Structures are given as structure tokens and as C-alpha cells.
Amino acid sequence: MSTTPHPDQESQLIDLYEHPGHLLRRAQQISVSIFHDETGGVVTPVQYAILRMLSNHPGIDQVTLSGLVAIDTSTGATVCARLEEKSLLVREVIPHNRRQRALRITPAGEALLQELIPGLQRLRKRILAPLDDAEKAQFMLLLDKLVHENNPHSRAPLARLRNESCDED
């Protein structure tokens, strides 16, 4: 399908499928479609990411949570409000900072995360199915590198908790 030029030649980017951004967008479309197939559409991928991160970091505030999921704070607030409406998380005013809210996943939210595990395992297998085992490992390493090395260029960069160490830094 792709007419990728020899590594020594600079591409003129005439073929849309030579654009990494286009291929990443298509990969995202495919991933979201399979996500909904495998999870039954109970939550969106961003809602899942928020619940998963909140499960790992109970009591963090919305701004910190948005940074850990790498979404802008207004989107984070909207998604958290929807998850609260679904009784999957609760927001509590932080006593020492009444403008911020501490977030906690509810037992229903934790139960949902557990229910989603088999579908998410199938999702991973389906997305990586075209690759052999060595390619899967290489792809995940390269994708991780691409995302983390380009993090500063994001409109919503991934943040880290103060106590997390980062090998790349």
C-alpha cells in the first residue's frame, strides 16, 4: 500500500500514507473502534483512562489527574462530571483548598474496571495481531519512545506526580 522511499531519500510527502501524523490518526481511529467493540461502549477511552489512573492514585485533584492522563483540564473536568453522573467517581472539596476537588473512584467504578479487563486484553491482541512477537515488542518500545520524546510538543503534555521518577529526564 505505502510507497515509502528508501531511507537515504527525502520523501516529498506526496503519498498521504507517508505522513506519520496521518497514520497515527488512522491508528487512533482503529483503536477507538476496537475499544468500543470490546468494551460494549460503556465508557470512552478517555473515561477509561481517567478511571484507571484514579484507581492507581485515589484522592488526587482534577488538574493533576488531567495531567497524568494528558488531557486539557477543561476536558478533564467535563469527563469527571460525566463519570460522577454515572456514579463511577466522586468529587470532594479539598478542605485546605476549596477551589480544588479530590477525586475517588467508587466501588462501582472499580467493579467496572475489573469487568473491562477481558475486553481490554482482546483489544490489545486485536490491535497488535498483524505483528509477530518481536515486532510487537519493538512497536511498543518505539511507540513509547515516540510519545515520550515528543511529549513537550503536546497541547496537553503528560505530567508526572512529584514522587514519580522518570528515566528519560
| DSSP labels, 129-151 | TTS-HHHHHHHHHHHHHHHHHTG
8-32: pLDDT as tens digits: 566 677 788 888 999 999 999 999 9
Q: How confident is the model at residue 165 (pLDDT cuts 50, 70, 90)?
A: very low
CATH at residue 25: 1.10.10.10
Asked if the structure places residue 167 within a domain, the reply is no
Calpha distance 160→169 (Å, rounded) = 11
Domain with 48, as residue range(s), is: 16-153
Q: How do residues 97-115 score in pLDDT, each as one tens digit?
A: 777 789 999 999 999 999 9
Residue 130 pLDDT = 97
CB 43 within 8 A of CB 112: yes
Question: Judging by beta carbons within 10 Å of its beta carbon (0-12, 13-18, 19+), is residue 36 exposed, middle or buried?
Answer: middle
pLDDT for res 100: 78
Whether 163 shows a pLDDT value over 80: the answer reads no
Number of domains in the chain: 1
Task: Give a yes or no: residue 4 inside a domain.
Answer: no
Within a domain: residue 68?
Answer: yes
Q: Is 10 within a domain?
A: no
Closest C-alpha among 142, 160, 149 to residue 70: 160
The answer to whether residue 103 sits within a structural domain is yes
Report yes or no on 25 lying in a domain. yes
Beta strand residue intervals within 26-154, DSSP E = 89-94, 97-105
Residue 100 counted as domain residue: yes
Under the banding of pLDDT at 50, 70 and 90, the label for residue 167 is: very low
Is residue 162 included in any domain, yes or no? no
Tell me the residue type at 120.
L
Measured over the CA atoms of residue 102, residue 106, residue 110 and residue 113, the dihedral's sign is negative
Comparing C-alpha atoms, which of 142, 120, 165, 134 is closest to residue 24?
142
Residue (of 90, 128, 129, 91) closest to 106 by Cα position: 90
Q: What is the pTM of this model?
A: 0.82
